Amino acid sequence: MNKMRALQNGSDIRGIAISTENNQANLTENEAEKIAKGLVKWLQVDKQLQGPLTIGIGHDSRLSADTLKQGLIKGLLTQGVHIIDVGLSTTPAMFMATQFEDYQCDASIMITASHLPYYYNGIKLFTKQGGAEHEDIEQILTYSMETIPSASSEGSVETRELIPRYAQDLVEKIRQGIGSGDTPLTGFHIVVDAGNGAGGFFAKEVLEALGANTTGSQFLEPDGHFPNHIPNPDNKEAMASIRQAVLDQQADLGVIFDTDVDRAAVVDQTGQSINRNNLIAVLAQIVLTEYPGSTIVTNSPTSSHLKTFIESLGGKQVRYLCGYRNVINKGIELNQKGIPTELSIETSGHAAFKENYFLDDGAYVIAKILMLLPKLREEGKTLGDLIATLKQPAEAKEVRFNIVTDNYREEGEKVIEELASFVNATDDFVIDPENEEGIRVNFTGDYGMGWFLLRMSLHEPLLVLQVENDEANKNQLVFQKLATFFESYDFLNTDKLTEVLTSI
């Protein structure tokens, strides 16, 4: 595969930006310069933007951010672009740079690789219409391989902070949502865990501006070594860290962001983690109160209990493909078909509200939750009380199978297809027809009561198996039965499954 095309990661660009003992850098200042030129050609040719362009550039706390930024600036300057260098920023803030009247960027670039190890980095791109799609990135990388002549005049660089403007926008929205003065969070103790990413601003510039006490907030300083924990609200260690901070501080709420703040999760005052299915349920409560009867789009591996919960609130869940762009685009598509859809959300924490440009914005998710707090306090409730009727599985486990063959996608899809025949021949296994990705199966009887999902990984040569059970100690029987199916495929690495089977 061409070296530039190899940098595509769905609707993002991602690569190794710092060489290590085991990894050679493939996303350097040189590649960044080429990508910048390809971006400008795409804006001019495919998006038909005429005249001088203004493009914003921001980055999270990654160690290689400045190097890539210099490459991008170098490439953009040759194309006559006016650059607004905003420095440390977040992914959602960079999109807002295309919306704020005092920035008016034609496009914006965010340098980030989310929660991946320090030696990775990447690029996310936005226009006024939203995030780049898979085919957009493909075209930009194709253009980047061309020899693109310089513009007749060189561009310019302006340095201007964006986070204060973005934070003020959030503060105004929260004040309006609560409707009780400038400091509606006075008396609330809220701790923030930024994981040494770009989200540290939220404590002072948002929460304290609203009157909250943020004593005990942790890891607010940007540090691309990520010395404390992985900045990922879908990570058990990260959630345990913010949970302990809430309990130690006897806080009312804990907030945790990923590196570039397009994902978030919370912990309530009792220490209950509200991420994954629990977070979807809380946001469903908010959406269905404001927009009764709305549809909510999620990715495929959500709990069956979540569907029951959403329907009990008068809403409808559509389970769709994994990948935040897939989920967001499905929500947009349903609205275009006349089906009111106010929220698209993945279990990983990517959540996009229709009212907020269908932008996956972790800080906006927290803003919506903060708007609830004064009312919940008046009623003597916690966030956890909102999802008290969401049933939790007794067991949940994920197993990943490496597909050890060049044509991994074809072989993986073949395994999924053949699993359907195995399921149809197995008592107490029934295929769930309400599924768009891989194969989802409900099981009963000797296997307990639950479901499993087998799907292809979005970008890696992996099959992902997720199993949830309402009966304790029954998942093992499900895995034992499925092992008899998987063992016949010599191109599947079943070591992880073997670990599960031998763990008891």
Are 346 and 327 a contacting pair, CB within 8 Å?
A: yes
Query: Which amino acid, one-letter code, is at 18?
Result: I
Residue entry with tokens 């933007």: 49
How is residue 130 written in tokens? 């939203």
How is residue 83 written in tokens? 């650059």
For residue 298, the SS3 value is strand
- Measured between alpha carbons, how far is 267 from 189 in angstroms, rounded to an integer? 12
What is the per-residue DSSP string for 42-100?
HHHHTS---S--EEEEEE-S-TTHHHHHHHHHHHHHHTT-EEEEEEE--HHHHHHTTT-
Reduce the secondary structure of 337-372 to three states and give it as a string.
Answer: CCCCEEEEECCCCEEEEHHHCCEECHHHHHHHHHCC
Are 352 and 359 a contacting pair, CB within 8 Å?
A: yes
Cα separations in angstroms, 347 against 24, 215, 223: 32, 29, 26
Catalytic residues: 114
Are 184 and 175 a contacting pair, CB within 8 Å?
A: yes
How is residue 382 written in tokens? 């916690």
- Measured between alpha carbons, how far is 471 from 477 in angstroms, rounded to an integer? 11
Of 278, 469, 467, the closest CA to residue 382 belongs to 278
The CB-side HSE value for 61 (13 A sphere, CA atoms) comes to 26
Are 327 and 458 a contacting pair, CB within 8 Å?
A: no
Contacts of 239 (CB under 8 A, 6+ apart): 233, 256, 265, 267, 273, 275
- Measured between alpha carbons, how far is 403 from 381 in angstroms, rounded to an integer? 48
Query: Which amino acid, one-letter code, is at 375?
Result: K
- Measured between alpha carbons, how far is 35 from 232 in angstroms, rounded to an integer? 27
Contacts of 299 (CB under 8 A, 6+ apart): 319, 320, 321, 322, 323, 326, 327, 346, 347, 348, 437
Max Cα-Cα span within the chain: 74
How is residue 134 written in tokens? 């898979």
